[in-house]
A and B are shown apart, each in its own frame.
Chain A
Amino acid sequence: MSIRWTRIAPQIALTPALAVTLVAFIGSIFWTIYLSFTRSRRVPDYAIDWSEWGRQYARLAQDAGWSTALWNLITLGVGSGLAIVFGFVLAAMIDREKRGESFFRTVFLYPLAVSLIVTGVAWRWILNPTMGLEATLHRIGFENVDFNWLAQGDTAMYAIILASIWQSSGFYMALMIAGLKSINSEIWSAARLDGVSLWRLYIEIIIPMMKFTFLTCAILLSLGVIKAYDIVLAMTNGGPGQSTWVPAYFVINALSQKQNLGYASAAAVMMLLITLAVFLPLVLLTAWQNRRRAAQ
C-alpha cells in the first residue's frame, strides 16, 4: 500500500484554513443563530424556551431603533450609491483626458487609505456649526445656509453619506477605470468618425458595455454599507438620539450597552440574511461571467 504524498500533503496544508473556516466562520454563525433563540442576557444561556423561540425576533420587529436602523441602511445605500455615479464620471473624464491622469488618480484615491475614524473626525470638524464651514459661509454673507447637519436627526444621515462618498468614490473610480480600459479603443475612433456625440456614445454604448462593472460596484457597495459602523461611530455615535443607527451599530449597541446577547444575536442574524440577499446575486454574477469567459 503506497501513500501518495502529492494527494495528502496539500490536504494537510489546508487544514488550518479549513479549521478556521469551520470554527470561526461557519460554526460561529450557527452559534449566533442558536443564541438568537435563547434568552441570553450578559452571559450565554443555552436553554431555549420553545413556546416562545422567536421572542427576540418579535421584539426586534417592534423596536423603533431597529426600524430606524433598517431605514438608515437603505438611505445610506441609496445615498452613497452616488459614489458609484461620481466614480464613473471621474473615471470617464480621467480616461478620456489623459493629462494629469496619475495626479488625479492619486488625489481621488487617497481617502481610501485613511481610517474611517479619521474621516469621521475630519468631517465632523468641517461640519462644526460654530467654527466650521457654516461659520465661514455665514461670515462671507450666506446667512441662511445651514450646515449644522450633525445636530439634527433628519439631516445627520446626510453628513454620514457625504463622508462616505468622499471616502469611497476613488475606489469605484478605480474599478471603473479598469472597466473602461478593457473596452476596445477602436470604438472611440469609430464613434468619432461616425460623428456620434459623446453623450450618446456613453449612454448607448459605453455604459451598457460596462453593466457588469456597475453591477459589481453596486453589490460591493451594498456589502460595504451593511458593514458600516466606524463612520457612524466617528461622525455621530448613533445620535442625535437613535437617528443614525444602522444594523451594524445596533448589534454592537445591543451587545455592549444593553448587554443583551440574545437580542444582539437576533439582530446579527438579520444582518446575515441581508448580507446573503446581496451575496446571492454576486454568486450568480460571478458564475455567469465565468461561463461567458469560458464560452469565448
Chain B
Amino acid sequence: MTDLTVTEAAAGATALKRRRPAARTRRRHRGLNGRSLAVLVFLTMCALFFCVPLYVVLTTSLKTMEEIRQGQIFALPDTWTLEAWRFAWNEACSGITCEGLKVGFWNSVRILVPSLILSISLAMVTGYALALWEVKWAGTFLFLLFLCAFVPLQIIMFPLIAITRSMGVYGTILGVAVVHAVMSMPVLTLIFRNYYKDIPAEIMNAAIMDSGSFWRIFGEIILPMSGNILIVVLILQITNVWNDYLIGVTFGGYNTQPMTVNLANMVTVSTGTASYNVDMAAALLTAIPPLVVYFLVGKFFVAGITAGAIKG
C-alpha cells in the first residue's frame, strides 16, 4: 500500500513539475539560498584542497631560491622566472649524470610507444578471442586473468628479472616495455573482453558464416567497431606507463630509466643544497603529459579508470 502511494505520488509530482515550470524555478532559487549554497561552498573548499598542491608546486617552480627560503609557500612569485624549468630540463643531476630530465622524458616516450603497441594488440586479440569465439577453456582462463590482474609486481619481480635477463632485454627500453605489456595484459584483456561481449551474437554468427576467418573478421568487422574502447584503453595505458616508477626502476638500465625514476633520483638523492624550485619544475614536467591527456579527453579517462577497476 505504501509503495503504491509513493509511486503514485512520485508520478503526480513529475506531472506537476512538467505542468508548472515556474514553480520549479522558484524552488530551485530557494534551494540555492539554503542547502545548495552550503553544498557549493563545501565543494569549493574541497576543490581548493585539491588544487593547493598544484598551485604550490607551480608557484614554487617559478620562484628563485632566495624567495623560497623566505618560507612564503603560498605567495605568488615576486620575480617570475623559468630558470628552474630550464635547469630541470637541461642540467639537473639524476644520479651521476647531469643532463636534466629530458633524458628521462625521451626514455619514457621510447618506452611508451612499444609498450602501448605490445600491450594493446595482445589484450585486444585475446579479449576478442575470449569474448566472441567458442573456446572450451575460456572460463578458466578468464578466472586466471582476473586473479593475475591483482598480483603485485613484487611477487613475481625476481622471476621476471631472471626471464628478461635470459632474453637479453633486461635493462633495455624494450625490456621495460615488455614488462609493462605483461603486467597490464590481464586488466586490459578483461576490459576488451567485457566490451566485445556486448557485440550481438548474431553479428558474429553472420560473420562466421560469411568468412569464418578469425583474423579477417577481426580486421574487417570487429576492429572498426572498437574505436571507443580503444581510446579508453589507450588513455588508461598512457597514464599507467608514464606514471609508473617501479617497473622503470627495476627493469631499466642506467641510461634507459623513465622520467619518474629520473625525478625521484633528482629529489631524493640531493647533493649539496636542495633546489626546491628545480624539484618542483621537474615534478611538473613529469606530470604534464598525463595531465594534458586528462584535460583533453577526461571523459575517456574516467571511463578507463573505472573500467580498469571493476571488471570480472
Interface residues of A (CB under 8 A from B): 5-7, 9-11, 13-14, 16-18, 20-21, 23-29, 31-32, 35, 44, 90, 93-94, 96-97, 99-100, 103-119, 121-126, 128, 130-133, 135-136, 139, 166, 170-171, 174-175, 178, 186, 189-190, 192-194, 198, 216, 220, 223, 226-227, 229-230, 233-234, 237, 247-248, 251-252, 255, 261, 264-265, 268-269, 271-272, 275, 278-279, 282-283, 286
| Complex Cα gap A20–B212 (Å) | 27
Structural contact, B182 and A20, CB atoms closer than 8 A: yes
Structural contact, A248 and B280, CB atoms closer than 8 A: no
Pick the contact of B306: A99, A100, A135, A175 (CB < 8 A): A175
Structural contact, A171 and B245, CB atoms closer than 8 A: no
Pick the contact of B212: A6, A99, A171 (CB < 8 A): A6
| Complex Cα gap A102–B148 (Å) | 34
Structural contact, B42 and A93, CB atoms closer than 8 A: yes
With A113-B290, A230-B245 as given contacts, are A93 and B213 in contact (CB-CB < 8 Å)? no
Cβ proximity bits B270-312 to A, threshold 8 Å, 1 near / 0 not: 0000001001101110110011011100100110011001101
With A97-B39, A121-B283 as given contacts, are A6 and B156 in contact (CB-CB < 8 Å)? no
Structural contact, B129 and A193, CB atoms closer than 8 A: no
Structural contact, B152 and A17, CB atoms closer than 8 A: no
Pick the contact of A282: B42, B243, B293, B312 (CB < 8 A): B312
Structural contact, B157 and A122, CB atoms closer than 8 A: no
Structural contact, A118 and B13, CB atoms closer than 8 A: no
| Complex Cα gap A25–B141 (Å) | 12
Report A-chain residues with C-beta under 8 Å of the C-beta of B144: 21, 25-26
Report A-chain residues with C-beta under 8 Å of the C-beta of B210: none
Pick the contact of A125: B74, B245, B280 (CB < 8 A): B280
Report B-chain residues with C-beta under 8 Å of the C-beta of A99: 36, 40
Chain B minimum-CB-distance residue to A96:
B39
Closest 4 pairs (CB-CB, A-B)? A28-B159, A10-B133, A9-B214, A115-B243
Q: Would you call the interface of chain B mostly helix, strand, loop, or mixed?
A: helix
Pick the contact of B73: A17, A135, A229 (CB < 8 A): A135
| Complex Cα gap A181–B212 (Å) | 41
| Complex Cα gap A124–B57 (Å) | 11
| Complex Cα gap A111–B56 (Å) | 14
Pick the contact of A5: B135, B214, B267 (CB < 8 A): B214
With A189-B14, A252-B154 as given contacts, are A230 and B56 in contact (CB-CB < 8 Å)? no
Report A-chain residues with C-beta under 8 Å of the C-beta of B159: 24, 27-28, 31-32
With A114-B243, A117-B286 as given contacts, are A216 and B73 in contact (CB-CB < 8 Å)? no
